[in-house]
Amino acid sequence: MPVFHNLYSRSQLKPKIVHIGFGAFHRAHQALFADELAQISQSDWGYCEISLLGGDKLIENLRQQNHIFTVVEKGVNGPSIKTVGSVCESLHLKLDGHEKIIEKIAAPETCIVSITITEKGYGIDLHSERLDTNNPFIKIDLDNFNKPKSAIGCIVQGLKRRMERNLTPISVMSCDNMPENGRKTQNAIVDFAQIVDPQLALWIQDHIAFPSTMVDRIVPALSEEAQAEIDSLVGEHEPCGIICEPFRQWVIEDNFAAGRPEWEKVGVELVNDVLPYEEMKLRMLNGSHSFLAYLGYLAGYEHISDCMQDSEFKQAAYNLMMAEQAPTLSIGQQVDLQAYAQSLIERYSNPNIKHRTWQIAMDGSQKLPQRMLESVSWHITHQSEYPYLALAIAAWIKYVGGVDEKGQRIDVRDPKAEELYNRFHSCNNEVARVRTLLDIPAIFGSELPAEYQFVDAVTQAYQRVELIGAKRAVSELIKATQNSERPQRF
């Protein structure tokens, strides 16, 4: 078990934050901030971790370690080892049942429910931005509200008990990669409550705060190689440890119903409006990540850092950020976007962070709208070109077809994987293939597929990927744009 030697007594902590989604990112981000705050203050803000789907072995291991775990930050100059003790307790649906989870959300000492469940976990239609009542998990919970299995269902049931017991209102804080994630979380929860109890929906609207956030830290999924490295650094097997990059950022809308930790003491930015920061990160970082994930995977690159060893992929990622994503942002003079793009290239190039292109490529149907398609709509409105975005979307179409350039099967992980595969393989020519993939309203809406210029740009890009492969398609695009006003240096 990791040895806890931090500068505070864990007995001072109370599980005032209930966190749903005890994954790699949360361990390396929110939990670490809470630990560092406790080290420099008398903070009593601790976590109760909740896992709903999978991860039962991880929770068992966490309990065996007295809820202590290790974060290894790996920069270019080597690792830094941190022991995190901010977690007080944990619950798992399989191990502990619905009742304990709902009661924890309803507990008087709970002040914040925070969430990291990825975009697909909210059951939101990404275009209407309302609850998708056809989502399988949402449908099950609406039919069996007393035993919810989704995060949204559990939170609504917990809030219902708080209302019935006249307890203090709380805050529900999403930490997932969605623009205006607070508003979208509120939509999902209020829509669910409206169906099961209209009075509850009104109470939630009047009493519960939904602050938006922007989170940033590269935290690769744990590989066997990374696990072995953690064990070597710790000196024993550490099944709850995680490796991440040194960089981290957290921007939070300062809107809480029952208090909050003094996060600003450990570098968190508390602001009135998070949206400009969310858009910047989603489009420049996450958008370029997806660009590299699909094209890099097809080109045979296993990790983002491998892509950065290819000077043309590095240049293409920078060009995408500065020429096609930066102009769409509303952040203005608050951030030097060129310096931001340069910092992203440096982070991607860190050889000690093995972030797999396959991992980033997951759940593309949930990620494309906010990472790329909103930017495409901006360019269409402003009558400007977007060849890098078009190429990325084309590469996604090739990827979800499930077969790479060498004829090898791709393990596509996506909530719409079956539909994507069936649509792709129902067509016997490239033009029809692009058309049928773009005609998915839940991903592309109704306006983009009706834009001839957009469909043509993606079709031509897809034909290039099929004809010459992803690597050459990137190379040719750089040559085609090098004499334009697009940035060519970083």
pLDDT tens digits, one per residue of 18-72 = 999 999 999 999 999 999 999 999 999 999 999 998 889 999 999 999 999 999 9
Burial class (CB in 10 A: 0-12, 13-18, 19+), 166: exposed
pLDDT digits (tens, 9 = 90+) for 150-190: 999 999 999 999 999 999 999 999 999 999 999 999 999 99
Question: What is the mean pLDDT of the segment spanning 246-271?
Answer: 97
Please tell me the predicted confidence (pLDDT) of residue 484: 59
- Residue 3: pLDDT over 90: no
The share of the chain scoring above pLDDT 70, in percent, equals 98
Please tell me the predicted confidence (pLDDT) of residue 76: 85
Six token digits for residue 54: 């999978």
pLDDT band at 487 (very low <50, low <70, confident <90, very high): low
Please tell me the predicted confidence (pLDDT) of residue 483: 66
Dist. CA 280–CA 478, nearest whole Å: 23
pLDDT digits (tens, 9 = 90+) for 260-275: 999 999 999 999 999 9
- Residue 490: pLDDT over 80: no
Task: Report the sign of the C-alpha dihedral through residues 144, 148, 150, 152, in that order.
Answer: positive
Question: What is the mean pLDDT of the segment spanning 197-219?
Answer: 98
Which domains are seen in the chain, by residue range?
Answer: 10-271 (3.40.50.720), 275-481 (1.10.1040.10)
Question: What is the mean pLDDT of the segment spanning 362-390?
Answer: 97
Residue count of the chain, please give it: 490
Please tell me the predicted confidence (pLDDT) of residue 270: 97
Mean pLDDT of the chain: 95
Residues 6+ apart with CB under 8 A from 357: 292, 293, 294, 296, 297, 301, 302, 303, 304, 307
- Residue 16: pLDDT over 80: yes
- Residue 5: pLDDT over 90: no
Question: What is the mean pLDDT of the segment spanning 114-134?
Answer: 93
Picking from 388, 366, 358, the residue whose alpha carbon sits closest to that of residue 297 is 358
